Amino acid sequence: MTALLEVRDLTVRFALPRPAPFQPRPVLEAVRGVSFTLEAGRALGIVGESGSGKTTTAMATIRLEEATGQVLFEGTDLLGLSDEEMRMRRRDIQLIFQDPYSSLNPRARVGDIVREPLDLLGVGTPEERRQTVRELFAKVGLREDQLSLFPHQFSGGQRQRISIARALAPGPKLLVCDEPVSALDVAIQAQILNLLARLRAEMGLSYLFISHDLGVVRHVCDVVAVMYLGRIVEMAEAPDLFAAPAHPYTQALLAAAPTMARRKSKGFSRPMQIEGDPPSPINPPPGCAFSARCPKAQALCRETMPELRPLNGREVACHYPG
């Protein structure tokens, strides 16, 4: 299959306030050399605890955060484009936000909200834009007579459908979904996930899907990347990762997930418990960042950082995987 998106050695650093006058500003390295490939028509899920860097990775990939490295979209490095060139590229790359309540302009009618990307990018004639909006409303399960309503007149699930329609308006090839169902009720989550799965099949879309819910990722994604303290520690095809996780952190995540608790997996026993908090990203440890919490850690883990390397059809950053 053709690679739609190739991310190479992506790094994001944030300068923090000085602890005292004339002292150097500490730097928080939120994303540390992340690399992955997303093939056309597939969905890649990025999971991890809060603060693992998954959302920052996604935002840096579409240039909503400053980063270094390479982000090749259809062979073009997005990080090297001018602002105007990137603005035109956004027609192919759209974002679905986490919160359907704050991501829609409360003073605009929803028909205008969905049409706005078409107006900004100059796509089609005014009549073609209106027809596109009507078609998108039908595609996401909304009625044409609702076009003149305001966001507050819709439920949370309906608002997220409006957000999806807005993201689809320019005809993108890649949708970045930043926890798109985390603010919704469980029953509504299932409807939105089924909608996203149907749209991907019908329109040939690719998804970069960010979530902390492993059950959601399992339902939507073909490939899963697990992040810890700004690095990918395991990446595998979704069925392989959920059946037999190789990294101790992945094993712990699956053991802690309520939706995964009753599923049988190979290679580790449940429940696998980890204690303590992740180390500071300002001053990460010299070896494996997970070593202080890992029940399998040995001296090598605390001294040498493991590289992400191939292992039985997946990639794992662990000295003692499996």
The domain spans of the chain are: 3-17+25-92+172-316, 106-171
DSSP character for 80? G
pLDDT tens digits, one per residue of 241-254: 999 999 999 998 88
- CA nearest neighbour of 179 among 60, 47, 37, 53: 47
pLDDT tens digits, one per residue of 15-32: 998 888 888 888 899 999
Distances (CA, A) of 289 to 52, 159, 160, 303: 11, 39, 36, 10
pLDDT-derived band at 267, boundaries 50, 70, 90: very low
Q: pTM for this structure?
A: 0.90
Q: How far apart are CA 309 and CA 302, in angstroms?
A: 18
**Residue 33: predicted pLDDT:** 95
> Are the C-beta atoms of residues 301 and 319 closer than 8 Å to each other?
yes
121 compared with 232, residue with greater pLDDT:
232
> Are the C-beta atoms of residues 61 and 208 closer than 8 Å to each other?
yes
**Residue 281: predicted pLDDT:** 84
Alpha helix ranges (H) inside the chain: 54-61, 83-89, 110-121, 126-139, 156-168, 186-203, 214-220, 238-243, 248-256, 299-303
Residue pointed to by tokens 């001018």: 82
- Would you say domain 3-17+25-92+172-316 falls under CATH 3.40.630.30? no
pLDDT tens digits, one per residue of 79-107: 999 999 998 899 999 999 888 888 899 99
Distance separating the N- and C-terminal Cα atoms of the chain = 29
Q: How far apart are CA 120 and CA 123, in angstroms?
A: 8
> Are the C-beta atoms of residues 164 and 193 closer than 8 Å to each other?
no
With a cut of 50, say whether residue 140 has pLDDT above it: yes
Average pLDDT, the chain: 90
pLDDT tens digits, one per residue of 165-222: 999 999 999 999 999 988 888 889 999 999 999 999 999 999 999 998 888 899 899 9
Residues 6+ apart with CB under 8 A from 83: none
Q: How far apart are CA 25 and CA 19, in angstroms?
A: 7
